[in-house]
Amino acid sequence: MAEHDGFDAALTRLAQARRLLVALDFDGTVAPRIDNPMEARALPQAEAALERLRAIPGTWTAYVSGRPIDQLAELTASDPDAFLIGSHGAELRIGADDGLRVSTSESARLEALADALEAAVKSAPGAWIEHKPVGLGLHTRMTEPFLVPRLHDAARAAAERIGGFRERAGHDLLEFSTRTVTKGYGLERLRNEIAARAGADAVVLFAGDDETDEDALAVLRPGDVGVRVGPGRTRADFRVANPTELAAALVVLAGRRETAVTG
């Protein structure tokens, strides 16, 4: 349903906005999904377009990811004052205020669940556990698909027994978090930060490829633009096939905005 005419017009409108926030999911959106998550990188075309956008007055860019924020900072080689949202909104780097305080009860629950998951993945070759500041991710991209449902059942049973986890399903990933915040919360925080700095609201472009991105799409307002990258049910108005198509759209946006604002 790539409504390309409508999308093209939307890019022109974004290019002309007084203030623009380009907020993007990272994995599967600007960085193609690959087997080793630590080797994921933004497509050079997308990265270059974002850099051009950041240089334009009244323009902000941000990554809104489920990854821990330190990892996100490392993978995106972001400068220290870049806007980053990590752990689905539980970690924010939008200037000076920062830092995530993890309670002892959270740590204890995370540890108990980690033990249970470590035991469970032994019977599912290729599966591995990612330790996040306030959550655990169960990765199954390299696991035989027929083994995955049983592994998920075991993980869910353990999480339920320990209690206090929010579950999130992603591509080849099941996550359990001790926080209930979403990418929608993270995006709202970003929006508020920019409004405080600029004295007025920014129009938002948000793009994502996964279930958790729907939470951010849900907080978009009239005039904002939401894009789904790849297949799947979505509330986004527009869809592109893959990160390459999104990067091409970002290049178009950067060019038009340079002309509109500085040209």
- The residue number whose beta carbon is nearest to Mg ion equals 28
> Closest distance between Mg ion and the C-beta of residue 101, in Å?
26
By CB neighbour count within 10 A (0-12 exposed, 13-18 middle, 19+ buried), where does 128 fall?
A: middle
> Closest distance between Mg ion and the C-beta of residue 27, in Å?
4
> Closest distance between Mg ion and the C-beta of residue 29, in Å?
5
Q: Which of residues 10-49 bind Mg ion (CB under 5 A)?
A: 25, 27-28
Q: Which of residues 166-195 bind Mg ion (CB under 5 A)?
A: none
Q: Which is nearer to Mg ion, 17 or 90 (CB)?
A: 90
H helix runs in 38-103, sequence order: 44-54, 69-76
91 makes contact with Mg ion (CB under 5 A): no
> Closest distance between Mg ion and the C-beta of residue 31, in Å?
8
Q: Which of residues 194-233 bind Mg ion (CB under 5 A)?
A: 209-210
Q: Which is nearer to Mg ion, 166 or 255 (CB)?
A: 166
- Amino acid at residue number 20: L
Q: Which is nearer to Mg ion, 209 or 214 (CB)?
A: 209
SS3 call for 109: helix
Q: Which is nearer to Mg ion, 116 or 205 (CB)?
A: 205
Euclidean distance between CA atoms 102 and 104, whole angstroms: 7
> Closest distance between Mg ion and the C-beta of residue 200, in Å?
30
- Nearest of 76, 110, 74, 69 to residue 93 by alpha carbon: 69
Q: Which is nearer to Mg ion, 30 or 253 (CB)?
A: 30
Q: Which is nearer to Mg ion, 19 or 28 (CB)?
A: 28
Euclidean distance between CA atoms 151 and 120, whole angstroms: 6
> Closest distance between Mg ion and the C-beta of residue 65, in Å?
7
> Closest distance between Mg ion and the C-beta of residue 138, in Å?
16
Euclidean distance between CA atoms 168 and 210, whole angstroms: 10
Number of residues that bind Mg ion (CB under 5 A): 5
Query: In the sheet where 173-177 sits, what is the strand order?
Result: 128-132, 135-139, 173-177, 166-170
Euclidean distance between CA atoms 254 and 144, whole angstroms: 42
Q: Which is nearer to Mg ion, 133 or 208 (CB)?
A: 208
Euclidean distance between CA atoms 211 and 161, whole angstroms: 25
Strand spans (E) along 68-147:
83-86, 91-93, 128-132, 135-139
Site string for Mg ion, 110-139 (x = CB under 5 A): ------------------------------
Name the site residues for Mg ion (rule: CB under 5 A).
25, 27-28, 209-210
